[in-house]
């Protein structure tokens, strides 16, 4: 196969004409598609293990049930993150039979094996799939997509457990830990979180949770911790217990990413809300028990073409502090839903059109404006939570991935919010003060250059003069095993690189450094040193002022640590 051979347009499978290539190992040289993007997009889905009906398409190549089931598992482990559960397209293009049957098995095999400049991984030449599996997948995507089961109120209540009823829980805090400075650390591949004391650096407890916990959120009171796994399981942890542990759990779907709690003072700890990837919906629950109360679908039309989309996933949720409202970001339709939960029997929802592929974001320093990445649109959407209107759409770099972002006062441009990018090395600084710095508001006032693409999280603190940038998905180990830190008092000064992976002292392993997180005082930054499940990992703590190593937390139970969430900072949206 010659790299210069060009194929017919593959309609919605890839954008434009693609050239067959022996490998996409150097994909960053082809139309700007980078290896970090490919690593990020080709995520697995917990739906791989769900039973689904095989729909026979007489026009498609024949498949036995065993072949169909194997291909379905591969699809949900390798492809659904990009192309969607129903293959209608998400961040990747649609792969429905009206498109794939026209292409035919041989062209599809080439596409799957060699990849494309548009970002399709080279599943065959990389060794991830055998030639037989490539052939299997080429036949599978010509079949009618199987539909996973829905997950309604009856299904949720079957999984709902109140382990310790509210009246049996402590009436006051029963431990000596400063729970406001506790860290909830995701142990990704074991289905657990480690609760670590910020002062002593000791592990208080390892708590069983859902698989691949995505985030931890703190209740308005600071007492409860809500943890959601990618398998849509939510665990409620009571931090007042002598040893903090689970007091309730529920599954709100088959795949999920987001959970949040009511932050308004009148509704402190009253409600929790969670959004799922499948089914596309969100559910409001009782905050102290996780009892499901209200389910709302997010299926609807896209913000741009206004075409119906059957699978718009709930990507992230934040709660406003001054009003009883949740801000719910719907990925595929590009719509932001402001949900007034003051009367859940008569929900009031304001729908704000933004841009497609909404992902994650955070508040500006005033907590009036919410900024969220529309990652594949290369934009940041700004919502004015006081007026419940879109304030701006800001063009940024390639695939913004801010996490919660980072707020600080720029020495020249005033208050800004920062995001890094998955697809390039830039850090975009966006002005956030339309009153005192009107000329800078909702513009990229400065673009910094960090180590490289593959950034997932960026972090600072109101008491810090540092801006920390990770790059765990960069293909260069020197970059993925270190972090860049900028001096906020002099942003023209080159960033400093800190070898966090080396400081961990854990020997061989991927040692990807991810998600800087501050302690309550804002004088320490914690980093996850993330290696494989069968390799040693660690948490590295750095003194924020000196940028020197302060501590390394090691334990055989610290397996694949990723996200870390300080209780106080999460409770109060400090970032």
Phi, psi of 345 (to 5 degrees): -75, -20
Strand partners, 361: 372
Say whether 137 is catalytic.
Answer: no
Instruction: Choose the catalytic residue: 120, 137, 156, 241.
Output: 120
Instruction: Choose the catalytic residue: 63, 79, 241, 285.
Output: 79
Q: 195-204, long-range: CB within 8 Å, 24+ apart, which pairs?
A: 195/237, 195/244, 196/539, 196/553, 198/519, 198/520, 198/524, 198/566, 201/539, 201/541, 201/551, 201/553, 203/553, 203/555, 203/557, 203/558, 204/177, 204/243, 204/244
Furthest C-alpha separation in the chain? 72
Strands in 341-491 per DSSP E: 348-353, 358-363, 369-374, 379-384, 389-395, 406-410, 414-419, 426-431, 444-449, 458-459, 466-470, 483-487
Phi, psi of 190 (to 5 degrees): -110, -5
Say whether 82 is catalytic.
Answer: yes
Q: 276 burial class (0-12, 13-18, 19+ CB within 10 angstroms)?
A: buried
Instruction: Choose the catalytic residue: 214, 309, 401, 421.
Output: 401
Say whether 410 is catalytic.
Answer: no
Strand partners, 542: 525, 549
Output the CA angle 262-266-267, nearest 5 degrees: 30
Strand partners, 372: 361, 381
3-state SS assignment for residue 344: helix
Which candidate, 220, 195, 13, places its Cα nearest to that of 99? 13
| Spatial distance between the Cα atoms of 431 and 425, rounded to a whole number of angstroms | 20
Question: How many helices, marked H, and strands, marked E, lie in the chain?
Answer: 10, 35
DSSP 311: -
**Residue 536 neighbours by CB under 8 Å, 6+ apart:** 506, 507, 509, 554
| Spatial distance between the Cα atoms of 371 and 406, rounded to a whole number of angstroms | 11
Terminal CA-CA length for the chain: 50
Instruction: Choose the catalytic residue: 63, 83, 309, 461.
Output: 83
Instruction: Choose the catalytic residue: 359, 410, 421, 437.
Output: 359
Say whether 461 is catalytic.
Answer: no
Strand partners, 287: none
| Spatial distance between the Cα atoms of 78 and 41, rounded to a whole number of angstroms | 9
Instruction: Choose the catalytic residue: 82, 137, 156, 241.
Output: 82
Q: 556 burial class (0-12, 13-18, 19+ CB within 10 angstroms)?
A: exposed
Residues annotated as catalytic (active site), given as ranges:
79, 82-83, 120, 359, 401
């Amino acid at each position: 196969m010659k790299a210069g051979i060009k194929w017919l347009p593959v309609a919605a499978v890839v954008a434009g004409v693609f050239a067959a290539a022996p490998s996409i190992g150097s994909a960053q040289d082809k139309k700007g598609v980078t290896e970090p993007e490919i690593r990020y997009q080709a995520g697995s889905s917990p739906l791989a293990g769900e039973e689904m009906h095989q729909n026979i398409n007489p026009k498609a190549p024949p498949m036995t049930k065993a072949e169909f089931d194997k291909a379905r598992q591969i699809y949900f482990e390798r492809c659904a993150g990009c192309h969607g559960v129903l293959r209608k397209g998400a961040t990747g293009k649609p792969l429905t039979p009206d498109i794939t049957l026209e292409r035919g098995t041989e062209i599809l095999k080439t596409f799957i094996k060699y990849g494309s400049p548009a970002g399709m991984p080279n599943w065959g030449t990389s060794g991830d799939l055998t030639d037989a599996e490539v052939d299997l997948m080429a036949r599978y995507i010509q079949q009618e997509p199987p539909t996973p089961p829905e997950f309604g109120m009856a299904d949720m209540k079957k999984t709902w457990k109140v382990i310790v009823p509210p009246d049996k829980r402590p009436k006051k805090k029963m431990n000596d830990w400063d729970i406001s400075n506790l860290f909830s650390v995701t142990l990704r591949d074991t289905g657990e979180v480690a609760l670590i004391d910020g002062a002593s650096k000791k592990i208080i407890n390892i708590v069983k949770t859902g698989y691949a916990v995505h985030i931890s959120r703190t209740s308005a009171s600071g007492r409860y911790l809500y943890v959601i796994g990618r398998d849509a399981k939510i665990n409620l942890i009571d931090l007042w217990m002598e040893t903090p542990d689970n007091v309730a759990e529920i599954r709100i779907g088959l795949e999920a990413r987001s959970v949040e709690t009511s932050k308004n003072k009148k509704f402190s700890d009253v409600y929790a809300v969670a959004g799922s990837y499948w089914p596309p919906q969100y559910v409001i629950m009782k905050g102290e028990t996780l009892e499901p109360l209200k389910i709302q679908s997010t299926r609807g039309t896209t913000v741009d073409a206004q075409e119906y989309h059957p699978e718009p996933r709930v990507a992230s949720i934040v709660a406003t502090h001054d009003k009883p409202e949740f801000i719910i970001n719907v990925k595929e339709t590009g719509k932001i839903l402001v949900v007034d939960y003051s009367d859940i029997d008569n929900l009031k929802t304001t729908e704000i059109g933004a841009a497609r592929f909404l992902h994650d974001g955070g508040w500006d320093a005033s907590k009036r404006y919410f900024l969220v990445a529309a990652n594949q649109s290369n934009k940041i959407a700004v919502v004015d939570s006081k007026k419940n209107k879109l304030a701006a759409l800001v063009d940024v770099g390639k695939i913004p991935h801010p996490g919660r972002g980072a707020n600080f006062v720029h020495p020249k441009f005033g208050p800004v919010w920062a995001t890094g990018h998955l697809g390039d090395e830039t850090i975009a600084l966006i002005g956030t003060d339309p009153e005192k710095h009107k000329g800078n508001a909702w513009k990229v006032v400065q673009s910094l250059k960090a180590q490289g693409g593959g950034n997932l999280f960026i972090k600072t603190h109101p008491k810090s003069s540092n801006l920390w940038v990770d790059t765990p998905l960069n293909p260069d180990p020197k970059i993925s095993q270190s972090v860049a830190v900028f001096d906020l008092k002099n942003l023209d000064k080159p960033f400093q690189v800190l070898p966090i992976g080396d400081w961990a002292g854990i020997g061989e392993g991927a040692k990807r450094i991810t998600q800087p997180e501050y302690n309550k005082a804002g004088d320490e930054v914690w980093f996850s040193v993330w290696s494989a499940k069968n390799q040693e990992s660690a948490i590295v703590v750095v003194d924020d002022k000196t940028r020197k190593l302060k501590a390394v937390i090691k334990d055989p139970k610290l397996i694949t640590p990723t996200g870390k969430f300080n209780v106080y900072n999460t409770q109060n949206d400090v970032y």
